[in-house]
Structure 1
């Protein structure tokens, strides 16, 4: 009986010893596909697990919108947890164009204002809703989605991702902010070459 108790106690101790509760990012080291290396637990502070998204981003740009990231590089306590977050600010008429996150699903929580958001499924079904403060919408991983300010005043939202590295590809930039020849873009999008050239000029593309 004593032997069984001893073995159970040893097993319990070993299982506890193998648990790593967190891996706060060591930002002095290079990031790897698995995230940042961990700092030693003795150097971990409570501030590593706290981050502020209370300051609006600068929306003075072509899309009248700003995204303030809260990824591991800004929020070291997220490292290794498979999560990331950000703040979204939309000035009046602001828009986050059609884009996709290849590596994560996204949850959007509207904080202020009204935001029309939606996504397109792989079957080309469209799901669109105008969200008010307090409402939440989810965008499944890899699907094209967007957000537009639907009101006359500034709007803000918090987003969370199911990955530390959700990735980002904005459709407009993928099409028109590159060096693909205009003829190829026109042929694959059915857009007039003159319009393609105009959009490339606006977004900094060439070709």
Structure 2
């Protein structure tokens, strides 16, 4: 039988003050940028992280670098959630549909705000911004996954199918994240129809 810690001990152990300032800044950035956008000021960011602006500038060149580092830090977690395990014994079609099932699943969360990479790109409107470079690289990784699976699945034009599926993913994530659309299987069905048209069967 496990004995629960006293509330004060538990709160102390979970306190973000226990984390190094850099980690606290990146944690706060991930939360604030997703909820309010990357336009959040450095004062609000430092306040949320419990870190002084002086300390922030000792760790990062500025907010642009924090946005980029926050996106980079989230990438492994997002990829692990979104993509099927590499050793999963499934057909290329099922591996591609896995991505859309995960999207449909997470989009049901009332707090879902869409793809953080797309949101960042739209807000910044600058492909040369350090965070845009990170976002574009990771969006390219999703397209590369689709293309590789499309090739394995015998698609007539794997590059085209990869672009189409990426477009559906980004559009569905954006509309669900803004509350403009309930997916309810729509993204999954659209992806399946594109695969049918490309000749990717079961």
Calculate the TM-score normalised by the size of structure 1.
Answer: 0.27
Structure whose CA Rg is larger: 1
More strand by share: 1
Calculate the TM-score normalised by the size of structure 2.
Answer: 0.27
More helix by share: 2
